[in-house]
A and B are shown apart, each in its own frame.
Chain A
């Protein structure tokens, strides 16, 4: 019997890995991918709650609706974000985060 806690811990683990990735990697595309990982981890915990909180044999569908929306928004975000990255690459010829800083000092 898999318990709720196990799903939730898995979700937390994936989220933590994604968070660490955002802070450690310097390639902006990889950073973006880690963001997606974090979103997926959140989705996992939502679905877990939806299933484990089933009332009278019916799962809580509103949580799954939320997941649906999250996926949609993630898609849009990725599209726009990658467009921005492409634009920046055209300007700076590099995908390293350090090269994209335009502030003096």
Chain B
């Protein structure tokens, strides 16, 4: 994908991420996150991962973030009052983040394969759903079944957790 588009969407993603952690209003945070996710989906599509990109939009933004917004509205959260910022924890968080970034940078600098450009695809605009589906249902069948069980148990768990006490 052209360099420019990459940087564009990367910038959107980063700004969205910053928006999440900076906004006082949780709804604003949620919307920033949606913007971030959509940018990431764009990046996915730019890498010819069409299925994944679609999933990112459908599930992540369409379901997960919608759920977040529902809960925020349910709990009727307002913007946080200006609490005195706990300098200690803010500093700690900043330090950890920057340290991680520095370490990641140090690793990447030494990464020999890092300078590679995208190799060409055999069928760049073809659908990858078939291939992906084939791999899932053959090589990764077992994890798939387990994921199914996981979803069922999660559903049951949610129902149980949200039950009101019966008097």
To the question of whether A and B form a pair in one complex, the answer is: yes
Q: Interface size (A, Cβ < 8 Å)?
A: 71
Q: How large is the interface on B (under 10, 10 to 19, 20 to 34, 35 or more residues)?
A: 35 or more
Nearest neighbor of B156 in chain A, beta-carbon distance: A80
Q: Which residue of the partner chain B has the closest CB to A21? A: B21
The answer on a CB contact under 8 Å between A64 and B162 is: no
Question: Would A52 and B116 count as touching, CB distance under 8 A?
Answer: yes
B100–A16 touching, CB < 8 Å: yes
User: Contacts A23-B93, A36-B60, A43-B40: A8 and B114 contacting too (C-beta < 8 A)?
Assistant: yes
* A61 pairs with B135, CB closer than 8 A: yes
Tell me if B158 and A17 are in contact (CB < 8 A).
Answer: no
Query: In the docked arrangement, what's the CA distance between A12 and B147, Å?
Result: 27
- Considering the complex, give the chain B residue whose CB is closest to the CB of A66: B140
B75 touches A89 (CB 8 A): yes
A86 to chain B, nearest CB (A): 7
B161 beta carbon closer than 8 Å to chain A: yes
CB neighbours (8 Å) of A74 from chain B are 60, 64
Say whether, besides A12-B100, A14-B13, A65 and B136 are in contact (CB < 8 Å): yes
**Chain A positions within 8 Å of B77 at CB level:** 27, 29, 95
Identify which of B1, B29, B111, B143 contacts A69 (C-beta below 8 A). Answer: B143
Bound complex: CA A53 to CA B94 (Å): 33
Kindly state the separation between the CA atoms of A91 and B49 in the bound complex, as whole angstroms.
44
Interface residue from B118, B135, B162 paired with A1 (Cβ < 8 Å):
B118
Determine the distance from Cα of A32 to Cα of B29 in the docked complex, in whole angstroms: 11
Q: Give 10 CB contacts A-B under 8 Å.
A: A10-B10, A14-B14, A21-B93, A23-B93, A37-B17, A57-B122, A59-B121, A61-B131, A73-B150, A78-B68
Residues of A that sit less than 8 Å from B by CB = 1-10, 12-27, 29-30, 32-34, 36-37, 40, 43-44, 47-48, 50-52, 54, 56-59, 61-62, 64-65, 67-69, 71-80, 82-87, 89, 95
